């Protein structure tokens, strides 16, 4: 890290090519990341005959037909709507229950607090494959199979612990004196929490919401197992492209591109907290 700011003449002379080396490394790495995504985008703008007929690095006959197919066919776009509904439900539920809990963990010692905190973590780490079948039976038996709320609740399994851990990480950074001053000033817990404390950790809430949204959005196994028609997520809808006449590559690619959009739209706002969010608020 010293090379860019090196002060002594001797190191500066040597550091010049090194700075270039850095740029080369980063360019190569970013290229490696972008190539497969570019290829997906490239394919989504081609017709199937072009995809299968000839090999080209960019679309020869640019077409948006694949996107039109998705945005006009109800079976397709309802996949996105369904996913959005359960993802938003899940984010709201997760944050609503995680906020007070994270406050308790960050401020108080209470009976069994450490065990509880650890137990939450184990749920974040639990393999969805273990839960797929029991969830199916649980939600079928209470009549919630193929509803949005079933998927939203199932995703709470890993999103609630995630939200608690992230929020706790942000809350511990807020000095305790603020709480005490507010109580002395006559604020009750509820009013203090909403009026004073929540604005203080607004960025933490944003980050937690982003990660709940994201992990619910990217998950497929549970959402596919718990739905059949009415709440079918886009991820499961994508299997529709495999038909009797082979795979409809263009539409498949277009559907894939559209699933990347929501994440790509908001990533800029949380860029500095990505590491913190993935590390459960611990960086």
Partner 1 sequence: MQQKTTNHKAWFLVLPVLVLVAFSAVIPLMTVVNYSVQDTFGNNQFFWAGLEWFQEMLSDERMWNALQRQLMFSGIILAIEIPLGIFVALNMPKSGFWSSFCLVVMSLPLLIPWNVVGTIWQIFGRVDIGLLGYTLDALGIDYNYTQDTISAWITIIVMDVWHWTSLVALLAFAGLKSIPDAYYQAARIDQANRWKVFRFIELPKMMGVLMIAILLRFMDSFMIYTEPFVVTGGGPGNATTLLSIDLVKMALGQFDLGPAAAFSLMYFLVILLISWVFYTVMVNLDKKGM
Among residue numbers 208 through 247, which ones bind partner 1 (CB under 8 A)? 214, 217-221, 225, 234-235, 238
CA atoms of 277 and 16, how far apart (whole Å):
35
Name the nearest CA neighbour of 242 among 251, 234, 233: 251
Binding to partner 1, residues 90-119 (CB under 8 A): 93, 96-98, 100-101, 103-105, 107-111, 113, 116-118
Q: Which is nearer to partner 1, 97 or 196 (CB)?
A: 97
Number of residues counted as binding partner 1 (CB under 8 A): 103
Q: Which is nearer to partner 1, 29 or 64 (CB)?
A: 29
Q: Which is nearer to partner 1, 201 or 252 (CB)?
A: 252
Q: Which is nearer to partner 1, 62 or 130 (CB)?
A: 130
* Among positions 68, 71, 202, 275, the unique one binding partner 1 when judged by CB under 8 A: 275
Q: Which is nearer to partner 1, 71 or 267 (CB)?
A: 267
CA atoms of 253 and 251, how far apart (whole Å):
5
Whether the CB-CB separation of 224 and 233 falls below 8 Å is answered with yes
Which residues lie across from 246 on neighbouring strands? 243
CA atoms of 144 and 135, how far apart (whole Å):
11
Name the nearest CA neighbour of 214 among 88, 126, 85, 98: 88
Output the CA–CA distances (angstroms, integers) from residue 223 to 122, 139, 234, 259, in the order listed. 20, 12, 10, 15
Handedness of CA 178, 179, 181, 187 (dihedral sign): positive
Q: Which is nearer to partner 1, 25 or 202 (CB)?
A: 25
DSSP 238: G
CA atoms of 157 and 152, how far apart (whole Å):
9
Binding to partner 1, residues 142-181 (CB under 8 A): 153-154, 156-157, 160-161, 164, 172, 175-176
CB of 195 to partner 1, least distance (A): 17
Six-digit token string for 153: 């609740």
Q: Does 127 bind partner 1 (CB under 8 A)?
A: yes
* Among positions 12, 22, 191, 195, the unique one binding partner 1 when judged by CB under 8 A: 22
CB of 131 to partner 1, least distance (A): 5
x/- binding map, residues 181-210, to partner 1, per CB under 8 A? ------------------------------
Q: Does 72 bind partner 1 (CB under 8 A)?
A: no
Six-digit token string for 111: 């009976």
CB of 199 to partner 1, least distance (A): 19
CA atoms of 171 and 103, how far apart (whole Å):
7
CB of 134 to partner 1, least distance (A): 3
In degrees and rounded to multiples of 5, residue 279 shows phi and psi of -90, 25
Q: Does 51 bind partner 1 (CB under 8 A)?
A: yes
Six-digit token string for 82: 């369904």
Six-digit token string for 12: 């500066």
Q: Which is nearer to partner 1, 13 or 283 (CB)?
A: 283
* Among positions 7, 184, 229, 245, the unique one binding partner 1 when judged by CB under 8 A: 7
């Amino acid at each position: 890290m010293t090379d860019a700011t090196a002060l002594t003449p001797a190191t500066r002379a040597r550091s010049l090519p090194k700075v270039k080396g850095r740029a080369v490394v980063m360019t190569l790495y970013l290229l490696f990341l972008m190539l497969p995504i570019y290829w997906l985008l490239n394919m989504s703008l081609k017709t199937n005959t072009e995809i299968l007929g000839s090999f080209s690095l960019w679309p020869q006959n640019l077409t948006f037909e694949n996107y039109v197919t998705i945005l006009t066919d109800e079976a397709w776009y309802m996949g996105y709507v369904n996913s959005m509904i359960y993802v938003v439900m899940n984010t709201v539920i997760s944050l609503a229950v995680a906020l007070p809990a994270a406050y308790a963990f960050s401020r108080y010692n209470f009976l069994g607090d450490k065990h509880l905190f650890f137990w939450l973590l184990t749920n974040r780490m639990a393999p969805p494959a273990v839960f797929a079948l029991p969830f199916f039976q649980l939600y079928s038996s209470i009549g919630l199979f193929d509803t949005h709320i079933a998927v939203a609740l199932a995703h709470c399994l890993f999103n609630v612990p995630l939200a608690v851990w992230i929020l706790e990480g942000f809350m511990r950074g807020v000095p305790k004196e603020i709480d005490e001053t507010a109580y002395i000033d006559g604020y009750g817990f509820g009013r203090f929490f909403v009026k004073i404390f929540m604005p203080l950790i607004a960025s933490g809430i944003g980050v937690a919401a982003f990660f709940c949204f994201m992990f619910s959005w990217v998950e497929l196994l549970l959402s596919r197992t718990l739905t059949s028609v009415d709440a079918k997520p886009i991820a499961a809808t994508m299997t529709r492209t495999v038909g009797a006449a082979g795979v409809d590559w263009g539409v498949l690619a277009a559907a894939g591109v559209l699933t990347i959009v929501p994440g790509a739209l908001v990533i800029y706002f949380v860029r500095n907290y990505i590491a913190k969010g993935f590390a459960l608020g611990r960086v």
